[in-house]
Every structure is written in C-alpha cells, then in structure tokens.
Amino acid sequence: MNVLITGGAGFIGSCFARTAALEKADWNCVVLDKLTYAGSETNLEPVSDKVTFVKGDIADTDLLNRLFQKYEFRVVVNFAAETHVDRSIKNPEAFITNDIIGAYRLLEVCKSYDLDQFVQISTDEVYGEVLEGFSVETDPLMPRNPYSASKCASDRLAFSYFATYDLPVVISRCSNNYGPYQHPEKLIPLFVTRLMEGKKVPLYGDGMNIRDWLYVEDHVRAIFCLIDKAEIGEVYNISANEEHVNKEITHMILEEMSLGLERIEYVEDRVGHDRRYSMNSQKIRDLGWKPRYSFQESFSKTVQWYRQNESWWKSL
C-alpha cells in the first residue's frame, strides 16, 4: 500500500514515517516536506533506505498530481503545518498560508483520486481553554490563538470534503506531544538544551498552565489504529490522560539533570495563554488503542535523548 506522509520530516510526521517504515512491511511510504525550520531530512536518516523523500509543498498542486499519478496512494496522512503558538502570534500569515491554504490545495487534489483514507492531524487546542472537565469530539470548537484557529480551519475544511465530496476523511485531535526530534522551541527540548548551555529556563507566568502530555510514539500508533479501524467521517481525540502543570514538568527536567530550582526564570506570560487543555479519548480507546509507555519512562527517555544528541539540535 502506498502512503503519502505530508510534513513527514517534522517532529510527529518523521516519527510516523520511521515507525511505519520499520513496522508496516506492506506500506511504501512517500514523505513530502518543504523543509521549513522545523523539518529536516536528518529526522529520516534511520530509515532513509526504506522511505522515499520528496522535497516540496502541499500547496504545489502540480507536484501533488505528479506524485498521485506515479504512486496511486491509498492513504494520505497530513501532518504538514506550522505548529508553534508563539510564532503564530508574531506571524499569523504563515499559519494561514500553510495550515489552511496548504490543506485546501491538498484536499482539492485528493478528491480527484481514489483514496481509502485521508487522515487530517488536528490538535486539542481547537477546543480552546478547558478549565473543568474534558473535551469530547462533539464539543464546540473555540480556538483562542492564530495557531489553533488555523488548525481548526483545516480540521473543519477536511470534514467538509467528506460531507460535500465523499472524500474518506478521518480527523485526529491529539494532546501535547513530546519525544525525540522535536524542535527546541517547545518546552522539554527548549529547557533541556538551555540547561546544557548553562542558561536559565524561561517559565511563562506562574507556571501553572496544564497540558495533557502524549508521547509521540504512542500518538503514532494511535494513527495506525485509526487507519486500520476508524469510521470514515469521524473525529477521534488522542490523549494519554497525563495532565501536568508546566512548573511540574520543569522541576522534573531539573531533577533529571541534577540541577536546582535557581535555574528557573519566571517570565511574562504569553498573551492569550490557555490555562488548560484536556480531552476524553475513550472513543479511540474503544477501537483498541491505549498508550504503550508510562509517562515517567518516556519522559526520562526524551530528556536523555536530547542530552545524548547535542549534534542534532545544535545543527538546527
């Protein structure tokens, strides 16, 4: 089966490509990525002989049509997106261009071909701030920053192609991912790399913002589950039910690196910083998925990966 993985040189996409190349013997994976700052062919080096890499943009419809005609893809998994909230606040246009226009052009091409499934990778942030309880798939979407708004738009645009054109769309909404190969603009790799350089770590506000932490390999296997078992046209939340405040995560990093609390520098909070995200993921668990790794195990593994792979993050 030929599978197109867009954004497959980024953090989550490359994990999906690496894992699929090693575990899915009947898949032929083609990775399409335009290699922005957050994507690198280096992320695919462990499986470079098992995947086909194409440098290009999902907004390039001529390229997409050539690839579809050559490979006759059965499944498309769209990871391609700008993903960092801070960057979206400073430059919303890049998020509109890549997350919305890019998704639109990819969907337009896909509707012309005979696909088994189009998986749109979305995020828990589309629900907006959840101060109590848990978001379920049918809840209203209330994104509060340009990043989450752009992801909400592509989420609903993908669904519209199912409802209007019968494109076999499935939408996943994942919680806060962490793991190896994540660009060091995100909390865990940012803090580990700064500490390795002898710097303090900048903790927003009071450090009490809550996220549900999901190990990237568990996320990838959830997507495998959706490709095998999901109902077309449905949305599935993916979360590990591992809620931790940012201050706790910071303390865990410091403990893992045998450093003290004096390395924390509290900084002015991000504008519009959502206090908490939380999702109910029972729907995908009913399909048979559950996290494989414990939080402590995967957290320690992640911190050690950045400590042992300084050449990777210093080359970015």
Only one residue has tokens 């990777």, namely 312
Residues 292, 136, 86, 247, Cα dihedral to 10°: -60
Task: For 139, list phi and psi in degrees, rounded to 5.
Answer: -70, 155
Query: Residue 143: which of 88, 101, 185, 190 has the closest Cα?
Result: 88
Only one residue has tokens 């992320």, namely 43
- Packing angle, helices 102-110 and 61-71, rounded to 10: 40
231 is catalytic: no
What is the distance between the terminal CA atoms of the chain, rounded to a whole angstrom?
33
Q: What is the CA radius of gyration of the chain?
A: 19
Catalytic residue among 33, 57, 99, 125: 125
124 is catalytic: yes
Count of CA atoms in the C-beta half-sphere (13 A) of 135 = 29
Amino acid at 154: S
Catalytic residue among 57, 82, 124, 212: 124
125 is catalytic: yes
CB atoms within 10 A of CB 268: 8
The length of the chain, given as a count of residues: 316
Report the C-alpha gap between 182 and 190 in whole angstroms.
Answer: 9
Catalytic residue among 33, 82, 127, 147: 147
Report the catalytic residues: 124-125, 147
